[in-house]
Copies of this chain bind each other. A is one copy, B any other.
Amino acid sequence: MRTADALRALVEDYLGELALTPELHGQTGSVRYALVGGKRVRGVICLATAEAAGAEAEQALPAAAALELVHAFSLVHDDLPALDNDAERRGRPSAWARFGEAVAVLAGDALLAEAFRLALSYPFPEAGRELAQATLGMIGGQYLDITNTAPDEGTLHKLKTGCLFAASVGLALWAAEVPEREQRPWRAFGDELGLLFQIVDDILDGDGYVATHGEEGARRLADEAASRARGRLADVPADTSVLEDIVDGLATRTS
């Protein structure tokens, strides 16, 4: 089993060499630009889950890349002036600031469609189905956020962040061909990851959960989420040591 860092390098290389659809013509420039940088957390969780489930990480690479493309799609559209109006992303101009709004809208669209192309490279439709559901949940979360209509913090983050983290485990299970009846303990683990990621994100940014629960309160919630995730992993009948390392990394990360 490879370490999280080795799996991250695998995702990075795959994305760097990803053959985009030639019919996109010059649009590929902004798509590649939007794919540079990022921690690849979702892709790494996907590969680590696939390896823990007994598959080669390589078998889950299209799924891992699809998750990273959906994540990149959401950032490109969220950064638009009409949404979060962020001119910077990962220390560089955001896609719209670099290529203009029109090309950035299309770049997000292309990332999403390419993500489905990747998820559909498997000989079965389940990975694509799960990606569609997760994407729709994420869009719903973004709607609740920008319109300030979320019923509560938990619902908001479960949709905005949790769906795609859960799908990072889910797509790996399909890619590793884990039968549906054996997926439940894995999925229970996947359901805990988004919240852990989100709370730590808010601690690092000093907003969100820190604003509502204070820094100490947020730290406590993060520790509880990490502890639940480890507990769920203990129920998974496999060597989940790399996934445990990933949970530790998510809980203690400083960037």
Contact = CB atoms under 8 A, between A and B. Distances in A.
A27 B135 CA distance: 13
Contacts of A136: 21, 23-24, 110, 113-114, 117
Interface string A94-126: 000000111101101110111011001011110
A12 to B, nearest CB: 23
Interface string A40-71: 00000000000000000000000000000000
B143 A25 contact: yes
Given A128-B120, A144-B26, A113 B110 contact: no
Interface string A121-148: 0111100110111011101111110110
A114 B21 CA distance: 21
A6 interface: no
A83 interface: yes
Given A82-B100, A147-B103, A120 B125 contact: yes
A159 interface: yes
Interface residues on A, range: 35 or more
B137 A21 contact: yes
Q: How many copies of this chain sit in the oligomeric assembly? A: 2
Given A23-B140, A102-B82, A105-B83, A113 B129 contact: no
Contacts of A116: 116, 128, 131-132
Contacts of A132: 113-114, 116-117, 120
- Most chain B CB within a 10 A radius of its CB, from A101, A132, A144: A132
Contact of A106 (B113, B125, B139, B159): B139
Contacts of A163: 23
Interface of A: 21, 23-27, 73, 77, 80, 82-83, 100-103, 105-106, 108-110, 112-114, 116-117, 120, 122-125, 128-129, 131-133, 135-137, 139-144, 146-147, 149, 159, 163
19 contacts: A21-B136, A21-B137, A23-B159, A23-B163, A24-B140, A24-B143, A25-B140, A26-B147, A77-B109, A112-B113, A113-B135, A113-B136, A113-B139, A116-B131, A120-B128, A120-B129, A124-B125, A125-B125, A125-B128
